[in-house]
């Protein structure tokens, strides 16, 4: 028991980061499941992180109401973003949503209430490991139920062929807006948990590189299942740490491993689980 406690004390930050990264990968998986390549999730992260932190530090709100209020704000932002970009697809949608994320980051840099480029320090560590992983378990369960619902089947139909889906009586615009709102809410909630599991946030925490990590986790893990993004997040969060002994060659080996997975397992790591079940 003492060894387990010592291990957690030494690696608690990494353990929490795995859970947060898994939630972020799930947030981008939702829009991918609906055939939408939305890369503005770092903006939703920033909105909820700053809103919830300011509500706790300045307005003295309790932790959970502040996080839920910030998450609702991110969901509304997702709806407002999703409406004008509904007709965009592929790289055009990706560029538009990247622009949204950068706009939010620039606002965070220039607003005094967010601390500007220096950020906000002294954030209480209210997001414990049980809170993070119970949130992740709930998100996985709800999204798994979604995939087996009428909405989940509509998402899959839209991703395959939007025109054919509309011919079957499915309203692509409504479902794509729902996907944007759900993805934004999950990304925002994960951003709040990330903020309250550290002492400090700044605009650099919400750069484009963060959403690239989310996308990589979802793709490497496999977008065919809810478990794929979680598996991908575990791998991509632990891989740099396990390769730390390679020092300057760590990034090279990391890249080669990711390339191997993408080339030889195009459906992601979760396809190995599916094959094992089928056999």
Written as six digits, the tokens of 89 are: 């697809």
Is the pTM here over 0.95, yes or no? no
Q: Which residue has the tokens 């910030």?
A: 70
Q: What is the pLDDT along the chain (279 residues), one digit of tens a residue?
A: 667 777 777 778 899 999 999 999 999 999 999 988 888 999 999 999 999 999 999 999 999 999 999 999 999 999 999 888 877 887 888 899 999 999 999 999 999 999 998 999 999 999 999 999 999 999 999 999 999 999 999 999 998 888 888 888 899 989 999 999 999 999 999 999 999 998 899 999 998 888 888 888 898 888 888 999 999 999 888 887 777 776 676 667 767 777 787 778 778 888 777 777 666
**At what angle are helices 150-160 and 129-147 packed, to 10 degrees?**
70
SS3 43: helix
Taking Cα atoms as reference points, which of 21, 83, 72 lies closest to residue 44?
A: 72
C-alpha radius of gyration, the chain, whole number? 19
């Amino acid at each position: 028991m003492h060894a387990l406690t010592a291990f957690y004390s030494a690696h608690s930050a990494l353990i929490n980061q795995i859970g947060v990264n898994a939630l972020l990968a799930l947030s981008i998986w939702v829009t991918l499941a609906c055939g939408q390549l939305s890369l503005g999730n770092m903006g939703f992260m920033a909105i909820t992180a700053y809103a919830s932190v300011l509500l706790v530090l300045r307005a003295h709100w309790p932790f959970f109401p502040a996080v839920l209020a910030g998450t609702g704000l991110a969901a509304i932002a997702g709806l407002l973003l999703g409406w004008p970009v509904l007709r965009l697809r592929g790289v055009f949608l990706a560029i538009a949503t990247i622009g949204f994320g950068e706009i939010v980051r620039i606002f965070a840099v220039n607003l005094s209430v967010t601390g500007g480029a220096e950020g906000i320090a002294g954030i209480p560590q209210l997001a414990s490991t049980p809170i993070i992983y119970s949130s992740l378990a709930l998100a996985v369960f709800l999204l798994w139920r979604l995939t087996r619902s009428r909405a989940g089947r509509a998402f899959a139909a839209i991703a395959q062929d939007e025109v054919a889906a509309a011919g079957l009586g499915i309203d692509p615009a409504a479902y794509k807006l729902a996907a944007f709102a759900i993805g934004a809410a999950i990304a925002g909630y994960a951003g709040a948990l990330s903020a309250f599991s550290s002492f400090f946030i700044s605009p650099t925490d919400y750069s484009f590189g963060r959403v690239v990590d989310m996308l990589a986790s979802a793709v490497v893990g496999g977008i065919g299942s809810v478990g794929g993004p979680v598996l991908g997040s575990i791998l991509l969060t632990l891989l740099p740490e396990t390769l730390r002994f390679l020092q300057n060659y760590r990034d090279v080996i990391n890249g080669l491993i990711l390339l191997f997975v993408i080339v030889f397992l195009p459906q992601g790591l979760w396809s190995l689980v599916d094959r094992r079940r089928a056999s």
